[in-house]
Every structure is written in C-alpha cells, then in structure tokens.
Structure 1
C-alpha cells in the first residue's frame, strides 16, 4: 500500500510538472483579426490615420513561465489610408519607401505581465532598414477557446508612440509635421 501511494504521488507530481510546461505553444497570426494602424497629427487640425492590410507572423507564448516571442512582418505596399493618392505618397521614398523597403519587422522576446495578463511586449522595430527598440503596452489581453476554430486564440490591443525620425523618416518635419507617431496594434494569434 505504501509503495503504491508513493508511486501514485510520483505520477501526480510528474503530471503536474509537465502540465505547467505544456502551456508553451506556437501561434500563427490571424490576419483577419490583426491590424496595425498609425496616427499622426496634420498641422494640429486633424489626425491622419492609415493601416497596413498585409501582415504575417508567429507568436510563441508560455503562460506558466510568463515568457514569449513575437515575429511580425508588415507589407509596406499594403498601406491603406482610404485615399489612393495618399497611399501612393505614403509608399514613396518620402515616407515608407516601399520599393526599397517592402517590409517593416517587429521582433520581441520580452513579455511583461500584470498577474496572468500580458501588460507589455518589448522588442526591436525595423523600419527603413534601421532597427531600434520599441515597447508596446497592452490595453487589453486575453486567451480564449474559439468556438469557430476549435483552438485557443490569444490576443490583445497594444499601443506605443514612436519618434519616426529615429528611423530616418524625416519628411515634413521642417514644415511642422510632428515627429511622434502613435502605433496601435490589434493582434490575435491562433494556436498551431
């Protein structure tokens, strides 16, 4: 009896240990629920907004260990302001230089938590061939079992403000266009 009780406790302990590490998983970005938008003041009168329609990437997430990795690529030719002439200017060498730099990349391996929720993701943003650190703060975050996909989905709304001149995007600064650009990232990723 004593031997079987110890065996049972050993199996239970091993199961508990592997259950904690079993939460580590890979996720694929869901492009239908993932949007990257930016906002910049237009002479203090209005706000110019646009989004990128094409993006792809992966997320590694371990809730138990409170760790994660993100690798997202954004197609600069997919910038969409709702105005084709403005989109063409955004893609030009003045701004995103899409012909020379067809993608923007964000890579992160530092997740910060508030309890069980991701509170921010820190990483490196590559834009116009230059890389600099960026921290995205979560305004909300959750994981849920999707009734349609029959898989776990994790995601949240993240935002930050960057100084675009740090990446060499200087267009219009001498006319009074601000350096600061607000980035808003809505992301959902599906467990693979």
Structure 2
C-alpha cells in the first residue's frame, strides 16, 4: 500500500534563478511500500509503472516535483494478493487508476506536497536524501534522490483488514532524473 504514494510526473519549481528540469528515468526509479502482516511479518511491494519530472535549483536546496503512479502496476510478487490489492477492497484501480504527488515545497531535505490515493488528497512530507549527480556515459546529466514517508492508508479511504494489515504504510521513492 505504501507505494501508492508516488504517482505522477515530477516537476520541481525552483525559487532560485538558476534551475534545471529533469525527467524521471523509469529504468532507474522505483516506488516501494511496506506494511505489517498479522503482527508477525512485513509485506513489501512496489509499483512497476511510475513517471514524473522535477525542477532543481543549482544549489539543490529548492525545487518541486510531480509524480504519477499507475495503481494497477502494484506488485508484491504474489499474483492473488496483487489482484486483491487492485480490487475495491484496497486500491480500486478501475475507479482510481492513478496515485499522484504534487509538491508544494522543497528545502533540500524535506519535500512537502499533496498525495492523492483512492481519490483522496492529503498533505504529506518526505524526508529526502540526495544521492548524487553528474554526467552519464551518453552525454547526459543525472541527479538521484531517495525519499521516504509513512502514511496511514485509512486516511486515504483504504481501510480494509486493519489491523491484520497495518494502517501505517511506509513508502520509499528512489528517483534518478535526466536533465532536459
């Protein structure tokens, strides 16, 4: 469930005069989630279809992002569970095909914005770590970040089987962007 968090195309809006636009590289970017199961284990999953863009100030201390996740791409490595997660009990992907995030601020360490899951939009805050940036072997320039947050899925209308499956859902986003 936690991977639900990141759906949308990332667009960073810089407060600095010098900024660069990046497109998310889907081959090197991931949205993952973890939830507790029956109080005895952790179930992990990911979303396989994720896109976005961001704009980053030269000093990496300001910008904004926008991401879109295809909810039906949820993958927990168990076909029957994934089918159930796509159903109205959880993500209801026919009615709510995307999960989106649109930032409202970024200060270099914290990315705040609006997350929409299951048709409900709530403010969330991600802790962000810049992994690095630099030229790639193909003449491009890349920047990479990791971001994490914890949400309560019930606040987004996804409350089936709580507490058997925990309400708290940890979400991690791994982003590699290519400067445009």
Please give the range of the TM-score, normalised by the shorter of the 2 chains. 0.7 to 0.9
TM-score (norm 1): 0.81
Which 5+ residue runs of structure 2 have no aligned equivalent?
A: 1-15
Flag the structure with higher helix content: 1
The answer to whether the aligner puts 1:130 opposite 2:125 as a matched pair is no
Q: Which of 131, 148, 161 is equivalent to 2:150? A: 161
**Aligned match of 1:6:** none
Q: Which of 101, 104, 109 is equivalent to 1:109? A: 104
Which 5+ residue runs of structure 1 have no aligned equivalent?
A: 1-19, 114-118
Q: Which of 95, 99, 103 is equivalent to 2:94? A: 99
RMSD of the TM alignment (CA)?
1.6
Q: Is the 8 A contact 2:39 2:164 kept in 1?
A: no
Q: Which runs of 4+ in 1 moved over 3 A?
A: none
Higher relative contact order (CA 8 A, sep 6+): 2
Tell me the matched-pair count: 165
Displacement of 1:164 in angstroms is: 0.8
Deviations 1:51-99 (A, max 9, x none): 0000111101112483211110000111111111111011010011101
